Amino acid sequence: MAALNLDEAEVGRARRAAARIAVDTLSQIEGKTTVAVERAVLRLLGVEGMTPEGVPWANRIVDDLLARGLLDRGAAAWFVRTLVSRGDSPAETAKHMALEGLDDEALPEVEPGELRDRMCSLAREGLDRVDRSRGEREERLARLGRGPEPLRYLIVATGDIHEDVVQARAAARGGADIIAVIRHTAQSLLDYVPEDGGIQGVGGTIANRENFRVMREALDEVSEELGRYVFLTNYCSGLCMPEMAVLGAQERLDVMLNDSMYGVIFRDINMVRTFIDQHFSRALLARAGMMINTGEDNYLTTSDAFQKAHTVLASQFINEQFALLSGLEPGQIGLGHAFEISPKVEDSFLHELAQAQMVRQIFADCPVKYMPPTKYMTGNIFQGNVQNALFNAVSVLTNQTVHLLGMPTEAIHTPHVHDRHLSLENVDYVFRAMQHLGEEIAFRPGGRIETRARKVLADAVAMLEEVAGTGLMEAISQAMFADIARTRVGGKGLEGVVEKAEDYCNPVGDLLKEERTAS
């Protein structure tokens, strides 16, 4: 489809304002760490396992350090000092610290140079595991290839990983390219990762290492059967965001849902903690070669999609800049948007087309993820199927990268296998029927579609420049995103934010930053 005539100077203004916002926000969190970051570092250094009561060793160690005011030096320093003094392996050291605690007064000091060398050595071993997973993904993709764009993204959500596997295999055989496993309801509010792979989830499946492994193995098998690589998605959000990044990177997930503001706005997680956690998690996901998906589509569940379209675009610019500063390449930044204007609005299809083309055009190098209608799905499956067909049409016309299938049974129940089959039939028909339509038509200069896109862009620029002036945290407190206000000192998890001491060290973060700088 011919490009919209957008004002490139306005696009440049938006990016510059978003860059100022991201840099300013990161400068405010530079001197802080979180319990989740420290747990993630320990996991990369080799800390795995749980107590007889089911508490992950990483939690037990970090909670002990936090309670005694020792976490400000970084969990890695205490872990490696203990390892050196005992002469144990990382596994034995982790077990000792988790089950017997740390006697910091009796622990001998280690020469700073040696301490850093040992920390960095263990961190490199942890990152080597991430690199091996990335290498295996790249080998499989090169050998098997992947489906054509838009990639069909389909959700499974039974609460049982083995039932999820059945649905995932059926979906892949029906044409799905990306399988997303919905996480257990409210798992984002747990400040630990449930380690027991047999735990039954509610409204979704427990996200943990074992369940990541089970689904990845199943999708590898079906990928070989089909002769194309099937991608796996799960969540890298909530109070355990950095740890989810570690587990996803190690177990070769391909895509992780990771937004800079979703947890703050929709889960009331403290914003300072969220920005710290997302920066570290994105740096690790960048190293793992994974794609992130942001969550701007959620704004439209609380805000009007027509009146507040510019807030989605503004957030996309901000998410892009945060991601770039974390080391993600544009090809890893899957920005989200959605088909959510009320069907009762005249020319709603034209407005949706304008929004989709504008986003696809502005973020041309990013694998944009396009979300289906949900807010105005009523339970009328026939009307819902029509709404999804129009959504499918916009997606193929505007060459979206990732297309999340809409379900005709949205607003009725968690979709069954046959609901997914109907959705795949719908999208296959529309994509096939309109495959090259976009090459045959152009936008009328000054027409409704172009005028709408230019207005949304102008409004987003004005908003971004206002946020750059006030600061992002203050803008969130003023309910500028999704019409929901949160405060800097409110929300869940603030007690897990720690000021760094002068001799604080995060060997994983340091290595990732050094490599970003060197490249």
Q: What is the mean pLDDT of residues 437-463?
A: 96
H/E stretch holding 465 reads helix 448-470
Q: In terms of domains, do 160 and 103 share one?
A: no
Residue 24 lies in a domain: no
Q: In terms of domains, do 79 and 195 share one?
A: no
Place of tokens 């696809």: 360
Q: Are 438 and 398 in contact (CB under 8 A)?
A: yes
Residue 182 CA to residue 194 CA, distance in Å, equals: 15
Place of tokens 């300072």: 272
Residue 104 lies in a domain: yes
pLDDT for the residue 517: 78
Residue 476 lies in a domain: no
Pick the closest to residue 250 from 135, 144, 83 (CA basis): 135
4: left (phi over 0), alpha (psi -120 to 50) or beta: beta
Q: How many CA atoms lie within 13 A of 316 on its CB side?
A: 33
What pairs with residue 336 in β-bridges?
369
pLDDT for the residue 519: 67
pLDDT for the residue 420: 86
What is the token pair recorded at 330?
Answer: 């544009």
Q: Are 351 and 450 in contact (CB under 8 A)?
A: no
* Active-site annotation holder among 164, 192, 369, 370: 369
Residue 172 lies in a domain: yes
Q: Are 419 and 410 in contact (CB under 8 A)?
A: no
Q: What is the mean pLDDT of residues 294-299?
A: 90
Q: Are 118 and 371 in contact (CB under 8 A)?
A: no
Cis peptide before 52 (omega within 30 of 0): no
Residue 497 CA to residue 29 CA, distance in Å, equals: 10
pLDDT for the residue 415: 79
Residue 184 lies in a domain: yes
Is a pLDDT exceeding 70 seen at residue 1?
Answer: no
* Active-site annotation holder among 164, 297, 299, 376: 297
When mean pLDDT is compared across 49-53, 68-72, 128-132, the lowest value belongs to: 49-53
Residue 136 lies in a domain: no
Q: What is the mean pLDDT of residues 313-335?
A: 97
Of 452, 477, 503, which closes a domain? 452
106-133 residue pLDDT tens: 888 889 899 999 999 999 999 999 999 9
H/E stretch holding 273 reads helix 271-287
Tell me the one-letter amino acid at 313: L
226-241 residue pLDDT tens: 999 999 999 999 999 9
What pairs with residue 256 in β-bridges?
234, 292
Is a pLDDT exceeding 80 seen at residue 320?
Answer: yes
* Active-site annotation holder among 153, 235, 262, 299: 262
pLDDT for the residue 197: 60
Residue 167 lies in a domain: yes
Q: What is the mean pLDDT of residues 307-322?
A: 97
Q: In terms of domains, do 101 and 156 share one?
A: no
Residue 315 CA to residue 289 CA, distance in Å, equals: 23
Q: In terms of domains, do 398 and 444 share one?
A: yes
Q: In terms of domains, do 214 and 112 share one?
A: no
Total of domains in the chain: 2
Is a pLDDT exceeding 90 seen at residue 58?
Answer: yes
347-358 residue pLDDT tens: 999 999 999 999
Pairing of strands 497-499, 32-34: antiparallel
Q: How far is CA 53 from CA 10, 60, 98, 194, 201, in A?
A: 56, 11, 12, 11, 19
Q: In terms of domains, do 249 and 395 share one?
A: yes
Is a pLDDT exceeding 90 seen at residue 412?
Answer: no
Q: Is 513 a catalytic residue?
A: no
Q: In terms of domains, do 271 and 351 share one?
A: yes
Place of tokens 């040992």: 118
Collapsing DSSP to helix, strand or coil, 284 comes out as: helix
Of 415, 434, 452, which closes a domain? 452
Q: In terms of domains, do 154 and 275 share one?
A: yes
Q: pTM value?
A: 0.96
Is a pLDDT exceeding 90 seen at residue 480?
Answer: yes
Of 434, 452, 470, which closes a domain? 452
pLDDT for the residue 123: 97
Q: What is the mean pLDDT of residues 424-446?
A: 95
Residue 511 lies in a domain: no
Q: What is the mean pLDDT of residues 425-450?
A: 96
How confident is residue 139, by pLDDT bands cut at 50, 70 and 90? very high
Residue 92's domain comprises 32-123
Q: How far is CA 108 from CA 13, 85, 88, 101, 104, in A?
A: 55, 7, 15, 15, 8
CATH code of the domain containing 394: 3.20.20.440
Q: In terms of domains, do 344 and 432 share one?
A: yes
List phi, psi (to 5°) of 428.
-60, -45
Q: Is 369 a catalytic residue?
A: yes
What is the token pair recorded at 231?
Answer: 């991608």
Q: In terms of domains, do 108 and 166 share one?
A: no
pLDDT for the residue 223: 98
Is a pLDDT exceeding 80 seen at residue 276?
Answer: yes
Q: In terms of domains, do 261 and 216 share one?
A: yes
Residue 176 CA to residue 153 CA, distance in Å, equals: 6
Q: In terms of domains, do 58 and 200 share one?
A: no
Q: What is the mean pLDDT of residues 61-88?
A: 95
